[in-house]
Amino acid sequence: MKNFSKLERDLGVSFANKSLLTQAFCHRSYLNENQSLSLEHNERLEFLGDAVLELVVTEFLYGRYPKENEGELTAWRAALVNSERLAQAARELDFNEYLLLSRGETKDTGKARDFILANSFEAFIGSLYLDQGYAACQTFIKKHLLGKLPEIIRQGLFKDAKSQFQERAQEKTSITPAYQVLKETGPDHAKHFTIGVFLADKLIARGEGSSKQEGEEKAAKKALEIKKW
């Protein structure tokens, strides 16, 4: 079992109920291999933490930006609480060192790990809320997440990948991206699309999805990475 006292010191918090803190990092797979432990996995805490996180962020945005409309605030909130941003915040706090995972999950360091880290961030907020209340969650979220908002706004990271790629392409090449279906497979009720994004006649990237919209978004995201935009 992990020793969470260092994490408490690093975060400047001290849990009255230590089992809540442990539970926040306990993945379902860990319990499958350690069934004798009297411990619950973190999914219920994640459910609670997700709601607390959204309220704290919403309250902050509403108070800090009184002149922005609902659509803008919604986009900023989505960019702040998406799984990629939460996984990044969790890594910065060394949450990866405290995850309780099965041997199989421990070996996975890719997107699956990022998903687990994002969930653990929400679960930690849920445990903090139960142990110390809403104000403690506000302090934690303000310190470790809300500070990322200026960069999100400045770089336009709240925009979807298609919007970002179109803006960059027009700015740098004066060309508006075009999307084409390169491949379509599967029956009508379960189509799978491969979409290409082009600048003029040049194919920049491909994206796949169960809808044309999903394929276009993934193609645009890949194109941003390829062009380093």
d(CA 22, CA 101): 12
Give dist(CA 206, CA 150) in Å, integer: 31
Catalytic residue among 46, 50, 105, 217: 50
50 is catalytic: yes
Contact yes or no for 21/40 (Cβ under 8 A): no
Q: How many helices (H) and strands (E) does the chain have?
A: 12, 3
Catalytic residue among 46, 105, 114, 122: 122
C-alpha to C-alpha distances, 7 to 49, 94, 132, 194, nearest whole angstrom: 18, 8, 16, 44
Cα pseudo-dihedral 161, 165, 171, 175, rounded to 10: -150
The catalytic residue positions are 50, 122
